[in-house]
Every structure is written in C-alpha cells, then in structure tokens.
Copies of this chain bind each other. A is one copy, B any other.
Amino acid sequence: MKAVSIKQPGEAEQMEIQERDKPIPKVGELLVEVRTAALNRTDIVTRSNPNLSEPYPILGVEIAGVVVENRGNGEKYKTGTRVAGLVNQGGYAEYAILPANRAILLPESMSFEQGAAIPEVFLTAYQTLYWLGELKTAETVLIHAGASGVGTAAIQMAKHLTQARVIVTAGSAEKLAVCQTLGADKTINYKEENFAEEVLDYTDQAGVDVILDFIGASYWENNLKSIKKDGRWVLIGTLGGATVKEVDLSALLAKRVTLKGTLLTPRSDEYKAKLTQEFVKVVLPYFKRETIHPIIDTTFQLEEVVQAHQYMEDNKNIGKIILKVRA
C-alpha cells in the first residue's frame, strides 16, 4: 500500500510516499481503508525526531474511512461501516489499524473530510474543557489560539454543552471573526491588546474559571492575572516557549490555582478509548443535529503532503488540514 514516511528525520521535504505492507489487525482492532487523514502538530514532532531509527514510522494519528476487516468486534463495526478515530500511528496511508473501542461511527450526513477533522481536536478539547478543566454550566473560559483546531472545537462545545461564557484570543481579525461565528462572546486580538486587561475588564475583575493554554511561557504572567480564584489552568502546549523565568508560587497559592499539564497523544490506549466513548455519547448528537461542526481549512491530496505540512507550519490555517488519501 501507499504510505507517507520520511527519508530521514527533518523538514517537511523529508516526507515521501513509500510502498509499505498493509497492516494486519489483531483481535479488538479494525482494518480501515483510509479515505482521509488529518494533520496534527505531533506529526511534525514525529517527523523531525532525531532519535528515530529505520524503519521510519508511517506518520499520522487520525483518520476517517471504511471498515474492511473486523477482528471480533460485533455487528456494530461490520465491513463497510464508516468510521473515524485516533490511530497510534500510520494514519497517512491507504490502510490503517483502528482499535474498535476508539472508533467513532460517522453520521450519514458527514463526509470523510469532516470525519477526519473530529478525533484529535474534539477529543483534546473535550478532555481539557471537561475532564481536566472541569468546566461547569455558565462558567467563563478563556481559550487561547481560538481559531486553531482545538480552539474551534472548544468554543463550540463550551457554548453548546455548558452554555459557558467564552473569551478567545487570536492574532488576526479574520481568525477572531471565525471564533465569533462559532459562538465566542468576547474576542481579543493578542497582537493589539493586553489580553489580561481585556479579560479582567470583561469579567468585572473576576477573571475566568478555566484557561485552555497552548502558549505557555510567554502568556504565563497574563494567564495568572486572568484566572479567577479556584480557577483551573490547563496547559496543553508551549507554542510561546517552555521556560518561564521567575515564577511566583505565592500567587498560585493565594489564587488556589490548579495547573494541569497534559498531552493527548501519549495517553494510554485505555484512556483514549474511555475518552472516545464518553465523547461519542455526549457530543455526537450535536454533530448529527449539525449544531456543532468540524472546522476544515484546506484539503490536500496525499501526494501534496509536503506542501500540507509547510502550510501547517505557516500557522495560517483556521481549523483542520486534511489529506485526501483516496477518492
């Protein structure tokens, strides 16, 4: 089968389509004929990891497609079923292995492009908003990088699942407009405004209950100012650097902040299965009713994978970047 791997660890240009063996599912797994895969920043990390040795892995952690082999998972996943889900690796390929307990049955109304745009960002947003951030009905949440994949998923769920007051930051008027369309109550252009001042002003100095923080070091001080007493601050990325100078622990104590670091990709299979199952139960009905939508920026052909990665690295996308693996 065709599959995307690398010549050697490095830049996007190191990726190429190679001929690989079709994977063989074990009991509990589905073999999926992949129609679409979606890009994730973790694919860049994998692609550039200098510690990799040959044979290099097939890239990609989420797919949508059709079940072609079902190793003992019952009628629900019979051959021909349309599914999406998180795979451990090997997503950018004609076939991939999806554990059945992580499969999301795609509603009839959704395309494979939309399907591949769901798992990573919606599961991450769900996990961080609800499992880690413990966002409750009508609380206030600050979502940084509002126009990112996780951001667009988080805005929609926070609004529709818990009627939260949603404040977002992003770096362009276009991105902020999209956030507003998705339901954000207050949008802040971090390039033009001090977001902590805006947050405190908007919340009558109270601050926010939950922060989804992809940025890390460069936002540390302003996040600390923006968070309410007993707030939950979920750290899911360090796009703004990982090293904070001069951290004042007494502020964390006085505000009784809960700071949780997390990454979805390295979680256990069991964790991902449990998360997927709760997500399917709680959120899939909103997709069926078309209240919540996967947000897609651009679809590339598998052959354009290098350009697709470069596009992701340019940071200009609003929503997901999809690879079309086959027609």
Contact = CB atoms under 8 A, between A and B. Distances in A.
Contact of A252 (B250, B254, B255, B259): B259
Given A259-B259, A263-B256, A247 B250 contact: no
B258 A249 contact: no
B249 A238 contact: yes
Contacts of A242: 248-250, 253
Contact of A258 (B216, B217, B255, B259): B259
Given A245-B246, A258-B260, A258-B261, 13 more contacts: A216-B249, A217-B249, A235-B253, A236-B253, A243-B247, A253-B262, A253-B263, A254-B263, A256-B261, A257-B260, A258-B259, A259-B260, A259-B261
A266 B230 CA distance: 12
Contacts of A248: 242-243
A216 B243 CA distance: 18
Interface of A: 216-217, 235-238, 242-250, 252-263, 266
B258 A258 contact: yes
A245 B244 CA distance: 8
- Listed from nearest, the 9 A-B pairs whose CB atoms lie closest are A252-B261, A242-B250, A253-B261, A244-B247, A259-B259, A247-B247, A258-B260, A242-B249, A216-B249
A269 to B, nearest CB: 15
A250 B237 CA distance: 8
Contacts of A217: 249
Contacts of A243: 246-249
A202 to B, nearest CB: 24
A244 to B, nearest CB: 4
Contacts of A255: 261
A110 B210 CA distance: 44
29 contacts: A216-B249, A235-B249, A235-B252, A235-B253, A236-B253, A237-B253, A238-B249, A238-B253, A242-B250, A243-B247, A243-B249, A244-B246, A245-B246, A247-B247, A249-B261, A252-B261, A253-B262, A253-B263, A254-B261, A254-B263, A254-B266, A255-B261, A256-B261, A256-B262, A258-B258, A258-B259, A258-B261, A259-B260, A259-B261
